Amino acid sequence: MPAEMASAVLWDFDGTLMKTEQIWIAVGKEFLAEYGAKIDLSQTNNFVGASFSVIAEATSELIGGQLSPQEVKEEIENRLVAAFESAELIYQPGAKQLLAQLRQLGIPCGLVSSSPRKVLLSAVSRLPENSFELVISGDDVETAKPDPEPYLLAIKQLEVAADKIIILEDSLPGIQSARASGAVVVAIPDQIKIESAPRQIILDSLADINVETLMQLWRTNR
């Protein structure tokens, strides 16, 4: 009898599927400079995995309220869309190969991100066609990660039991959101410490992970 396999895989975008940190930092620094402000690396780390609303509010404060949080959100969204449409998109190690293998086997994949929808879609439009069955953005939910709502919405749309789903995440808010959804979580943390927990696997990267390995991890941790 063939070994049981998970029914679907949900991916976070920034930092899990793609290396996007430099795009976000470049856009943010350029925006702040135009309004006479700046930010250092230690401050940017505070925004990893944060909702875009939180980022917009903090940015509005950094520029002394010259723009409202909503105005900041709209302006940075437009700049990010332009950046993602033109910048080189770099996959995290192993992510491109794993996604391709999952698609070849017909295992549904979804993208669940805190990024605004139009920013996310500008990047997704450059990926291989039909890479994802669904895309959940920060605009699609009332409460962003670390609340489980984004992943619960994706699970509902997939019409699959939570324990039959694998979630790939890198940030602390994302990992907390994924764990609270009831799915099995594969955490690939970057410069953060993640404590061990039930239904959670911690990896250094996806570089040596293929579908067979991923499913074995799921079977032993569900």
pLDDT per position as a tens digit, 161-212: 999 999 999 999 999 999 999 999 999 998 788 888 999 999 999 999 999 9
Task: Name the β-bridge partners of 200.
Answer: 185
pLDDT of residue 49: 62
Q: List, for residues 40-82, the tens digit of each pLDDT value.
A: 655 666 666 677 888 888 889 988 999 999 999 999 999 999 9
CATH number of 21-86: 1.10.150
Nearest 5°: phi and psi at 94? 85, -15
Q: Tell me how far apart the alpha carbons of residues 170 and 185 are, in angstroms, rounded to a whole number.
A: 10
Q: Which two tokens stand for residue 199?
A: 């239904």
Q: In this structure, which CATH number among 3.40.50.300, 3.30.470.30, 3.40.50.1000, 1.10.275.10 belongs to the domain 8-19+90-221? A: 3.40.50.1000
Task: Name the β-bridge partners of 136.
Answer: 112
pLDDT of residue 62: 87
CB atoms closer than 10 angstroms to residue 134: 16
Q: Tell me how far apart the alpha carbons of residues 63 and 124 are, in angstroms, rounded to a whole number.
A: 31
Q: Tell me how far apart the alpha carbons of residues 75 and 71 are, in angstroms, rounded to a whole number.
A: 6
CB atoms closer than 10 angstroms to residue 64: 10
Q: Tell me how far apart the alpha carbons of residues 139 and 51 are, in angstroms, rounded to a whole number.
A: 10
Q: Tell me how far apart the alpha carbons of residues 211 and 207 are, in angstroms, rounded to a whole number.
A: 12
pLDDT of residue 46: 64
Q: Where are the domains of the chain?
A: 8-19+90-221, 21-86
Q: Tell me how far apart the alpha carbons of residues 98 and 79 are, in angstroms, rounded to a whole number.
A: 30
Q: Give the mean pLDDT of the chain.
A: 92
Q: Which two tokens stand for residue 165?
A: 């789903």
Nearest 5°: phi and psi at 155? -65, -40
- Residues with Cβ within 8 Å of 6's Cβ and at least 6 positions away in sequence, in order, are 107, 164, 165, 166, 184, 214, 215, 218
